[in-house]
């Protein structure tokens, strides 16, 4: 007789899976139900259900929804609200200096950015592929607006984004190196889905700062995207990084398989000021 063939009444060595207890349904008043729901939602951290369950229950009663349909409605409301809170939190964590969105960007003023290219960038597919984005143009041509707007779109899609100017990042790295915390800071920046690096070329970096910035760029190379904006063409980046070989290495890493957008030379701010002056005179 095999071990599986036990005689009636004999005890098997295989432990039996206990059956789940039958759920007991307790009748309660509406007031008691509200208190129970509020307590359970606090314990389970479901703030939307706690706030909206009564309104959803009234709507479900009017529509004669089944119990399962009502449960689906309240759970969907919680998921939708949690997703909205997550998008807001991602944008706050990115530390953008001011709000900028793609729908307020004057794409027609940038001939090098056709609508199809802008739509592709807005989708974030280039971030998933770890591709760089370089925005080149004179001051006032919309580089920072586009950088923040694309970063905001990426954050709202659930990606980890951080905006920082080149000077601020270098200062942070120098302080971290002095405090022997450099590896921790570099690792934190390496974990981002998108690093928005603004104002490359605005200030010259000393050799130490340039080398520390190069560590960030190298840590993200071909793995995670960097979107950067500069008012200087690549040929002038040697003035920023002082060492021509280091400047060449930075350009090489930021341009490999990259999206490079020229925003032009006509200042949007100057154009807007002239337009306002002309309108006032008219």
144 within some domain: yes
37 within some domain: yes
2 within some domain: no
pLDDT tens by residue, 226-276: 999 999 999 999 888 888 899 999 999 999 999 999 998 877 666 666 555
One domain for residues 146 and 202: yes
One domain for residues 162 and 257: yes
20 within some domain: no
12 within some domain: no
pLDDT number for residue 202: 86
Q: Given 58, 92, 126, which residue is the final one in a domain?
A: 92
One domain for residues 162 and 185: yes
113 within some domain: yes
Q: Please state which of the ranges 26-30, 38-42, 193-197 shows the lowest mean pLDDT.
A: 26-30
19 within some domain: no
One domain for residues 111 and 209: yes
Count the domains in the chain. Answer: 2
One domain for residues 199 and 227: yes
One domain for residues 187 and 70: no
Range(s) of the domain holding residue 74: 30-92
The CATH number that applies at residue 163 is 3.40.50.300
Q: Given 92, 113, 142, which residue is the final one in a domain?
A: 92
270 within some domain: yes
One domain for residues 105 and 216: yes
pLDDT number for residue 67: 86
One domain for residues 198 and 243: yes
One domain for residues 76 and 211: no
One domain for residues 78 and 103: no
pLDDT tens by residue, 189-239: 999 999 999 999 888 899 999 999 999 999 998 889 999 999 999 999 988
Q: Given 61, 92, 123, which residue is the final one in a domain?
A: 92
One domain for residues 54 and 121: no
Count Cα neighbours of 219 within 13 Å in the Cβ-side half-sphere: 20
pLDDT greater at residue 24 or residue 89: 89
């Amino acid at each position: 007789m095999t071990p599986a063939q036990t005689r009636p009444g004999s005890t098997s060595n295989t432990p039996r899976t206990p059956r789940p207890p039958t759920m007991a349904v307790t009748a309660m008043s509406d007031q008691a139900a509200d208190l129970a729901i509020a307590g359970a939602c606090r314990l389970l951290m479901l703030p939307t259900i706690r706030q909206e369950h009564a309104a959803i229950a009234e709507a479900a009663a009017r529509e004669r929804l089944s119990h399962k349909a009502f449960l689906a409605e309240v759970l969907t409301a919680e998921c939708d609200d949690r997703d909205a809170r997550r998008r807001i939190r991602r944008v706050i964590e990115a530390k953008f200096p001011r709000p900028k969105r793609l729908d307020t960007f004057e794409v027609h003023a940038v001939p090098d950015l056709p609508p199809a290219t802008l739509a592709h960038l807005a989708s974030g597919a280039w971030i998933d592929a770890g591709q760089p984005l370089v925005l080149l143009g004179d001051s006032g041509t919309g580089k920072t607006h586009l950088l923040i707007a694309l970063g905001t779109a990426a954050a709202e899609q659930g990606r980890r984004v951080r905006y920082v100017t080149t000077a601020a990042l270098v200062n942070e790295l120098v302080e971290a190196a002095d405090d022997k915390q450099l590896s921790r800071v570099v690792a934190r920046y390496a974990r981002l889905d998108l690093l928005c690096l603004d104002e490359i070329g605005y200030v010259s970096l000393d050799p130490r700062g340039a080398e520390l910035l190069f560590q960030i760029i190298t840590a993200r190379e071909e793995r995670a995207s960097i979107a950067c904006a500069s008012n200087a063409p690549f040929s002038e980046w040697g003035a920023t990084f002082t060492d021509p070989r280091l400047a060449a290495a930075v350009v090489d890493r930021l341009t490999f398989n990259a999206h490079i957008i020229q925003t032009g030379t006509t200042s949007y701010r100057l154009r807007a000021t002239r337009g306002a002056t002309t309108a006032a005179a008219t």
